[in-house]
Amino acid sequence: MKELSDTIEIDQPVDAVWQVITDLNAYDEWNPYLSIQQGTPAEETTIVVDITPSAGPNRTETGKLTTVLPSRQLQWEAVAFYHRLYTSGHAMELESLDETTTQVTNRRWLGGVLAYFVATDKVEADLSAMNIALADRLTEVTQ
């Protein structure tokens, strides 16, 4: 299993960050890495995610939201083909550092035989780009 992550501090309260990351239908307006075709922010909901990596082909994953902890964590997991071939998961974890600052950790994990062919340095760059875009989106919607 490969686990990749990127962390950023955003000068916005945790509730504002939570509102943006749970507005799943708006991901394509700000997120360069993920857009969500289908899904609502509730546990066990099916979610359809389009992934646009900076390296490699675009792909679509269908999974389930496994964790929805308000103002703390949004997580989903997907199985493509067969669980031994490729599995993936994504989590956005929020930590309120103070009333106006939130630490966001974006994690992605990949498992199965096909995971060994994924360019992990590119995935980390994509997670970083996603975090920067999230900060920009928050600046845009809170002005």
Residue 140 tokens read as 């845009």
Q: With a cut of 80, say whether residue 120 has pLDDT above it.
A: no
pLDDT per position as a tens digit, 16-25: 999 999 999 9
Question: What is the count of structural domains for the chain?
Answer: 1
pLDDT value at position 119?
62
User: How many CB atoms within 10 Å of residue 87?
Assistant: 21
pLDDT per position as a tens digit, 38-85: 889 999 999 999 999 998 889 899 999 999 999 999 999 997 766 678
Residue 81: domain span: 2-141
High-pLDDT (> 70) share of the chain, %? 94
Return the CATH number at 32.
Answer: 3.30.530.20
Among all chains, which residue has been given the structure tokens 């956005």?
A: 92
Phi–psi pair at 35, nearest 5 degrees? -135, 150
Residue 102 tokens read as 């939130």
Please report, as a single letter, which amino acid is at residue 137: R
Crossing angle of the two packed helices 14-21 and 120-141, in degrees rounded to 10: 110
The residue-averaged pLDDT of 12-34 equals 97
